[in-house]
Amino acid sequence: MVVKEKYWAPRGRGVWRYASMLPLIDGVSLGEGQTPLVKSSLNGGLYIKFEGANPTGSFKDRGMALGVTVAKESGASKVVVASTGNTAASAAAYAARAGLKCYVVLPRGNVARGKLMQASLHGAELVMVNGLFDKALEYVVTYGTRYAYPLNSFNPWRLEGQKTLAFEVFEELGCPDYVVVPVGNAGNISAIWKGFKELAELGLCRKLPKMIGVQAEGAAPLAKAWERGSATPSFIDEPETVATAIKIGKPINWPKAIATVKESSGFFIAVSDGEILKAQKLLASRDGIGAEPAGAASVAAALKLRLSGTVVAVVTGHALKDPDAVEISAKEVRNADELVELLGQ
Ligand code: F0G
C-alpha cells in the first residue's frame, strides 16, 4: 500500500485505471468501473451513466474494490455491512474474491430479491433484523465493528473508489453542467463531487458541475431540509418508497452530502414513487437501459427539472436487482395460427 501525491495518468482498466489519483496503487478487482455513458433520447443534453453495468450491478463495486483491499491488507478475516441490498451484494462478491468472510445485516422484508440472491450466492452470512436499514446500520456501527471490518459508506476507502465515476465522465465528456445522483445514505454524491474537485485542483476541470441530490418523497430527510432552508435534516423514523435501495430515514453521511450540494451550488429534490416508476419505464422502453427504481430516481429528477446544458444522470443500479418492481404482462397463444395472427397485428 502506497500513499502519494495525486497526478492524472489514467492507464489500464477498472477503478485501478486511476491509481495515480487513489491512495492505493492496486488491489482486488472484478473489472469494476468503465461503465457506459449513454446519450439519452429523453432530453437534449441528458447522458446516462449506467452503473448497473458494474460486476455486481451497482456503483458499490467501485468502492468495494478499495474497501476490501484495505480490509485484506490490514489483516482482517471478516467484513460486515448493513445494507438495503446493493452494498451487501457487492461486499459479498468482493469478499469472496479476497477470501474474507462477509456478514450482511439486512432489514427484513425490505431488500429486493435479486440482491438477496447475490449475497447468498457469493457465500455471505445473511443476517435479518426487524426494522429498517437505519436499525441495521446502528447494529453494525455499535456491534459489528467490534468483530469485523466495516464496509459501509462511512468507510473512507469506499468513497475513494466511488469518486472514479467523475474521472470516467471527465474522460468522455469533460466536466458536465449538472450531475444528478440518487441519495440514500448520502455517501456517493460526496464521493463523486470529490472526484470532480480533484480534477479541478489539477487544473483539468475548469467549471465544476452542480451536484443534484435526489431522494424519494417518502424518504427525503435531506430534500425536505433543503426545501425548509435548514442545514440540518429531521430524520424520518418510517421512510417509505418503492425504491428500497434508498429507503433510508437517517443518512449517516448527511453532513458531507449537504456540504457537497452547497459547495457545488446544486440542490436536493424529492421525486414521487410514481415519477420514479415512470422514469424507470421510459428509460427502459426508449433508451434501452434497465434501472432498478432507486437508479431511475436521478432520471425522474432530470426529466422533472428540464435542466439545460450537459446533464449526467447516474443510474446507480440494474433493473435485474429488483424484478418484483416491474409488472410482467404476457400474451398467450394456443397454436401456430394464433401466433401468426398476433405477429401480423
Ligand atoms: N442507488 C442505489 C441503487 C443504491 O443501492 C444506493 C444505496 C443509493 C442509490 C444511494 O447511495 O447511500 O451513497 O447515497 N444503497 C446502500 C446499500 C444504502 O446498502 O446498498 P448513497
Strand partners, 318: 291
294 Cα to the center of ligand 1, angstroms: 8
Distances in whole angstroms, Cα of residue 287 to Cα of each of 17, 199, 295, 330: 28, 30, 14, 22
**Residue 125, CB-side half-sphere exposure with 13 Å CA sphere:** 12
Cα 26 to chain center, whole Å? 22
Distances in whole angstroms, Cα of residue 6 to Cα of each of 19, 189, 317: 9, 21, 29
Cβ within 8 Å of residue 280, ≥6 positions away:
291, 292, 293, 295, 296, 299, 319, 325, 326
Copy the grid coordinates of residue 56.
455486481
Which residue out of 81, 132, 261, 316 has the highest number of ligand 1 atoms within 8 Å of its CB and is therefore the one to mutate? 316
189 Cα to the center of ligand 1, angstroms: 10
The closest residue, in CA terms, to atom 6 on ligand 1 is: 245
Which residue out of 188, 192, 321 has the highest number of ligand 1 atoms within 8 Å of its CB and is therefore the one to mutate? 188
In the prediction, which pLDDT does 5 show?
Answer: 84
Point out the ligand 1 atom lying closest to the alpha carbon of residue 58. 3
Point out the ligand 1 atom lying closest to the alpha carbon of residue 152. 19
Q: Are 239 and 247 in contact (CB under 8 A)?
A: yes
Copy the grid coordinates of residue 115.
440482491
Rounded to whole angstroms, the Cα distance separating 269 from 225 reads 10
336 Cα to the center of ligand 1, angstroms: 46
Point out the ligand 1 atom lying closest to the alpha carbon of residue 181. 9
Strands (E), the chain: 37-39, 46-50, 78-82, 101-107, 125-129, 149-150, 178-182, 210-216, 267-271, 311-315
In the prediction, which pLDDT does 4 show?
Answer: 65
In the prediction, which pLDDT does 3 show?
Answer: 55
List all residues whose CB is within 6 A of at least one atom of ligand 1. 58, 83-87, 153, 182-188, 245-246, 292, 294-295, 316-317
The closest residue, in CA terms, to atom 9 on ligand 1 is: 182
Point out the ligand 1 atom lying closest to the alpha carbon of residue 188. 13
Cβ within 8 Å of residue 257, ≥6 positions away:
183, 186, 187, 189, 190, 213, 222, 251
220 Cα to the center of ligand 1, angstroms: 14
45 Cα to the center of ligand 1, angstroms: 25
DSSP string, 225-289: HHHHT-SSPPP-SS---S-GGG--SS-TTHHHHHHHHHHTT-EEEEE-HHHHHHHHHHIIIII--
Could you tell me where the DSSP H helices lie in 164-220?
164-173, 188-201
pLDDT along the chain (345 residues), means of 10: 78 94 95 98 97 98 98 98 98 98 98 98 98 97 96 96 98 98 98 98 96 98 97 95 98 97 98 98 98 98 96 98 96 98 95
In the prediction, which pLDDT does 128 show?
Answer: 98
